[in-house]
Amino acid sequence: MPNNTWRVVDLLDWTSQYFEKNAIPNPRLDAEVLLGHLLGKSRLQLYLDFEMPVFQEHLTPFRELIKKRIDRTPISYLTNRKEFMSLEFYVDERVLIPRPETEQLVETVLTAQTDKPQRLLEIGTGSGVIATILATHQPEWDITATDLSEDALVVAEKNAETHNCAAQIEFLSGDLFEPIKAIDPNGETPFNWIVCNPPYVKKTEWDSLSPDVRNYEPEIALFAGNDGLAVIRRLIAEAPAYLASNGKLSLEIGDTQADTVRTLVNAESAYCSCELIKDYAEKERIVLASVP
């Protein structure tokens, strides 16, 4: 970036051209989000302050952010923010950046008819977005959220505290149902819901992922064996032992996994129904399996 006097408009123009030259997707948007983040302004405010000069104290860190974006650090890790269902969440490299598709998983739970407070288990909570949104919408529900990654749980708890629902969510670390088995070995307090957005990418797809994803997001949050089904398979097999009567297992799955997952659920005699729900792009992405 040349040394001269920079206004907001000049910085946005220069940065978006530089991002474009370096094949960064959404170059203008990224330039606006990064500059807005640094100056503490919304994108609209940046436009209102187009002529405002930007001084060295901001130019130096802005150069650093540009460099990191050119190295393909995801924008959300640079700003430590991601919006999910209209709430803002803290994110960093310890957790997967929540995706818009996952909102459909939360909607599936929220729109189901229930007449009494539910006990819900979220496995693989990551940044805690699913458990936190459910807690804010259903303050009477009893929610447990787990993750194999202790680092992720630190982020999840921070987000639950920010949204004033930490007291409603019990956070536990461990592999799938292990932490539940440890506190309730006889299954005396089963769950009405088990919800999970599991890792479901095939190990063999590593090369085809964008560098933003494969070089920065936690591997443990993305990959699930050579067929991408290693975690889903275990969840489908093990969940019935932890579900109450009429309980439901709801999972997000990859956009090519619907047929295989339907077959896996139908092969488990513990389930009495299996519904596949489409996302906004008309792909079957949410599984809803019920026990009698």
Ligand X SMILES: C[S@@+](CC[C@H](N)C(=O)[O-])C[C@H]1O[C@@H](n2cnc3c(N)ncnc32)[C@H](O)[C@@H]1O
Least Å distance, CB 98 to ligand X, is 4
Site map for ligand X, 229-258, x if CB under 6 A?
--x---------------------------
Q: Does 152 engage in binding with ligand X (CB under 6 A)?
A: yes
Rounded Cα–Cα distance for residues 248 and 179 (Å): 19
Stretch that binds ligand X, among 48-56, 194-202, 263-271, 277-285 (CB under 6 A): 194-202
Contacts of 154 (CB under 8 A, 6+ apart): 94
Shortest separation between residue 86's beta carbon and ligand X, angstroms: 16
Q: What is the length of the chain?
A: 292
- Of the pair 33, 231, the CB lying nearest ligand X is at 231
Using left for φ > 0, alpha for ψ between -120 and 50, and beta otherwise, residue 257 falls in alpha
Candidates 149, 192, 250, 257; binder of ligand X (CB under 6 A) is 149
In one-letter notation, the amino acid at residue 213 is: V
The nearest distance, CB 166 to ligand X, in angstroms, is 17
221 binds ligand X (CB under 6 A): yes
Q: Rule CB under 6 A: which of 88-127 touch ligand X?
A: 96, 98, 102, 123-127
246 three-class SS: strand
What does DSSP say about strands 243-252 and 284-290: parallel, antiparallel, or unpaired?
antiparallel
Q: Are the CB atoms for 97 and 90 separated by under 8 Å?
A: no
Q: What DSSP state is assigned to residue 219?
A: H
Footprint of ligand X (CB under 6 A): 96, 98, 102, 123-127, 129-130, 146-149, 152, 175-176, 197-199, 220-221, 231
